[in-house]
Amino acid sequence: MYTGMGPKVIGQFCSFLSYQTRLIKPDKYILGFVNVPPEVPSWGKLKGEWVKISVRVPKGLHSLIDQGKMLGTVDLLWKASEGFGVADGHKYAANVVIPKDKKETLIKNADKNCMP
């Protein structure tokens, strides 16, 4: 359904998942990964290989974030991608584009930095 729509739709898909209460754990971040196409229309070919990561949170995580017990999504991505990415977003939805070879590093960093 999302074929050909580019990396922007990963956030939409993660948002969709955040409302699927039977599929997801209410206290876990939802991270979605998509490879960035090597060429941007009307701009040119990118140097290197890139991955876009979008993060969303289910309703059950909102209160933990508001209480400061868990990091907001943009803070989580800032810490997880420090030195190789620039995150953008807010406490319930965020994204970052990183070099493809840093994907595992981001996952490990996010796992160890999810709490303030």
Residue 50 clears pLDDT 70, i.e. is over it? yes
List all residues 6 or more positions away from 72 whose beta carbon is below 8 Å from its beta carbon. Answer: 65, 90, 91, 92, 94
User: Which of 2, 10, 3, 1 lies closest to 93 in space, CA to CA?
Assistant: 10
Q: Give, in words, the CATH class of 9-111.
A: alpha beta
Q: Where are the domains of the chain?
A: 9-111
Mean pLDDT value of segment 14-35: 93
Q: Tell me the three state secondary structure of residue 27.
A: coil
The backbone torsions φ and ψ at residue 109, rounded to the nearest 5 degrees and listed phi first, read -65, -40
Residue 80 clears pLDDT 90, i.e. is over it? yes
pLDDT band for 1, please (50, 70, 90 cuts): low
